[in-house]
Structure 1
């Protein structure tokens, strides 16, 4: 019974943060919820392993990021097969927020840059944890963050200039 309680508490305590991470990666709330549910299903099947980690939520976050990356790769492949030119999915259920321009700009980043921005700024992870989740060197994460910030600044500046 304690195992079930532990997993329920993990779910309740980290679900929203993981959906936010997946949303930042996909730009689609429905897909973000599906990815997060899939990550919890995987974790439930590996409860003994997950409970033995230092941070079960970090383990889940890694699974969420990997599932979002896999979804992006599959969509990109399908787009190539169907010879479609749009790289992003049509807008889904977007939360009403004053930050819609920022979310749109983040969705316009490449997957490597989007991942570091989402994990560092939206999931509030330090650079070394972002590097661990993405299995990338810390220097690479810092470089991607720098380039992503420059790209976001340019995109947001351009959008403001056109308004």
Structure 2
């Protein structure tokens, strides 16, 4: 181990508890104080050749830990003030019952039919693009769409006639 590293290790061992105690006096939390002390030593290490020549290198580390603790406390105070001053969020309306029914019905379809229906009717993709995405012929997609629409109609309790383009011009 190099002399500088051994010197810093001895310094760390000798001053750790006092540095933690100073940070603890500000934070009131041992874990936070230890984190702040560790950060102070981490900042001291690259500057050790200069800091080690100070009359009180431990005072430098304690000051860094103290300043970090104060900065953390200030950030927390600002955050708390913001939260206290914030208004309650506007209530979000629940999902549309029709959308819930559709989602439940779609979940009951076979996966291939569900993908075809969702990509074509909800995703606005033409049959040709759905076929490319699914890696199968357009006729297969048309069959999946037909079967999927028939199954959806039964699941949703719809008994009205289907148009040739899908779900009677609706976006579902």
TM-score (norm 1): 0.50
Larger Rg: 2
Q: Which has the higher contact order (CA 8 A, sep 6+)?
A: 1
Which structure carries more helix by proportion? 1
TM-score (norm 2): 0.47
